[in-house]
Amino acid sequence: MTTAKRKIGFAGNSALVALRQVAGVAIGFAATVVTARYLGAAGQGTYALALLLPTLLATCLTCGIDAATVFYTGKDAYKPATVYKTNLVSAFALSALSLLIGCLVVLLFGRELFAGATRLQLLLALAAVPQLLFGTLLGGILQGMQDFKRLAGAAFASQLLGLALLLAATAWLHWGVAGAIAAYAGGQCALFLLVLAAIRRVYGLRMKDGSVDRKLMKQSFIYGGKEHVSNMLTFLNYRADLFMIAFFIGSSAAGVYTITVAVAEQLWFVSRAVSLVLFPRISAAGGDAERNLLTSAVGRIVLALTLAFAVVTAVLAKPFIGFAFGHEFAAGGLALQLLLPGIVAGSLERVLSHDISGRGKPEISMYVSMVTVVCNLALNVLLVPKYGIAGAAAATSTAYIVSFAVKIVIFKRLTGLRYHEFMVVQREDWQKAAGFIRSRVRPALK
């Protein structure tokens, strides 16, 4: 594959995933409006806290296998059938372990850790854990193969089904928080089944064709372990504020803050799209020069686009929150504005993190995450009791900016690039974007 073709393929894949992300943002926004309107602030907070349990377990118990799958599949280090069977066996084992741990947590510490959520709601939420694990580990195969069309298609279809289930459970059947949790689990189940169907239909992978490779499993834990610790710390960095708000203030405030964060994080759709494509491309790249050129161009564009969206969001934040979600959530306008600087910084930080991991150095992100989590927790403990959700937003935004500042220094030292080369949009970026639209986007829309 030539460099020119790779560039076109990367741009095309990024555009495809970005379009799917835009559709996902619309569906996610609709789902957030539904839960806000039909559950209210307290119900929204309980729903968010209940879903923290399966997402936390899935994040902790993937053991980095998903990242290792992308890395080794992108390098063609193992046969796809071997990766497929090894990941399926791993997913079965990790699902059983996660359900056991989850049940123990609910029975022993549920009321203390997830204030406002009942045991029944938490146990129902655990049904999503196996779906999350299977979907993540199998999705890594498609990502490593750079089959973003099917991966993004599966994600879009599952989100659409999840929204339909959510509407049925809350607006029609009036099942409340339990119905919303069941709809979430149903959406995750659909994602897993669609990814599984794509792998079996398109690539012809079957359990009988491969074997469980202990060497692959060992290498996955070694490589993925470093990335995994970073991912766990990043998750805590993203969600520590919600735990603090629920603990210090209550579930209603947590519900308002959840909506605020959901709106703010939609601005990451650009960085999520390109990062999804970037990681396997960096892993498979022929040398540092190609990696530096690709990541610097991506970083500049992602930062500029996210900043533009953030400016618009900051202006409309306060009236928009109240209008879209109801007067109960209007207080989230200021918190949304305070989150935006961190969201902008986090967009570029995400791109640089995937580049660094793709170069085989995931431990760097792990060390940075350790620093930012401590910073975030300390600031939340200091600010949330006094300033509520605005304090949580300020603390989280500051932590994102700290992580961003450290990552750009590290990336500069790793690559030798100057800051403006990967942070400031250049004339050639606009020219390439215009050329891509003329040659690829317009014909596709006709």
For 9-61, the pLDDT digits (tens) are: 555 565 666 676 678 889 989 999 999 999 999 999 999 999 999 999 999 89
**pLDDT of 318-345, one tens digit each?**
999 999 999 999 999 999 999 999 999 9
Element (H, E) at 420: helix 419-423
**Banded pLDDT at 7 (limits 50, 70, 90):** very low
Burial (CB < 10 A; 0-12, 13-18, 19+), residue 69, is buried
Burial (CB < 10 A; 0-12, 13-18, 19+), residue 2, is exposed
Task: Flag whether pLDDT at 445 surpasses 50.
Answer: no
Least-confidence region, from 36-40, 91-95, 353-357: 353-357
pLDDT at residue 376 in the model: 93
Query: For tokens 């500029």, what's the residue?
Result: 304
- What domain count does the chain have? 1
Q: Which two tokens stand for residue 386?
A: 């006094």
In a domain, 446, yes or no: no
pLDDT at residue 5 in the model: 37
- Assess contact for 280 and 286: CB atoms under 8 A: no
Nearest residue to 380 via CA among 238, 259, 244: 244
Q: What is the mean predicted confidence (pLDDT) over 412-417? A: 92
**Banded pLDDT at 4 (limits 50, 70, 90):** very low
Q: Which two tokens stand for residue 291?
A: 């990696």
Greater pLDDT, 365 or 309:
309
Element (H, E) at 308: helix 288-325
- Assess contact for 235 and 56: CB atoms under 8 A: yes
Q: What is the mean predicted confidence (pLDDT) over 5-12? A: 48
pLDDT at residue 48 in the model: 94
In a domain, 70, yes or no: yes
Q: Which two tokens stand for residue 97?
A: 């372990």
Enter the pTM of the model: 0.84
Greater pLDDT, 293 or 419:
419
CA angle, residues 283, 288, 294, in degrees to nearest 5 = 70
Q: What is the distance between the alpha carbons of residues 83 and 74, in angstroms, rounded to a whole number?
A: 12
Query: For tokens 């600031």, what's the residue?
Result: 379
Q: What percent of the chain has pLDDT over 90?
A: 55
Count of H-run helices and E-run strands, the chain? 16, 0
Greater pLDDT, 20 or 90:
90
Q: Which two tokens stand for residue 158?
A: 């599952």
pLDDT at residue 276 in the model: 62
Q: What is the mean predicted confidence (pLDDT) over 74-100? A: 92
Nearest residue to 284 via CA among 81, 10, 65: 10
pLDDT at residue 2 in the model: 36
pLDDT at residue 293 in the model: 85
Four-CA torsion 32, 35, 41, 47, nearest 10 degrees:
-100
Task: Flag whether pLDDT at 386 surpasses 80.
Answer: yes
Helix (H, G, I), strand (E, B) or coil at 206: coil
pLDDT at residue 179 in the model: 97
Query: For tokens 């989280």, what's the residue?
Result: 396
Element (H, E) at 287: none
Q: Which two tokens stand for residue 22?
A: 């835009």
CB neighbour list of residue 129: distance below 8 Å, 6 or more residues apart: 54, 57, 58, 95, 98, 99, 102
In a domain, 351, yes or no: yes
Least-confidence region, from 114-123, 361-370, 394-403: 361-370
pLDDT at residue 39 in the model: 96
Sequence-ordered alpha helix ranges (H) in 114-175:
119-125, 128-144, 148-167
In a domain, 389, yes or no: yes
In a domain, 186, yes or no: yes
Q: Half-sphere exposure (CA, 13 Å, Cβ side) for 158?
A: 24
Range of the domain at 231: 3-441
In a domain, 309, yes or no: yes
In a domain, 369, yes or no: yes
Q: What is the mean predicted confidence (pLDDT) over 239-259? A: 91
Q: What is the mean predicted confidence (pLDDT) over 162-180? A: 96
Q: What is the mean pLDDT of the chain?
A: 87
Q: What is the mean predicted confidence (pLDDT) over 88-113? A: 93
Q: What is the distance between the alpha carbons of residues 213 and 92, in angstroms, rounded to a whole number?
A: 15
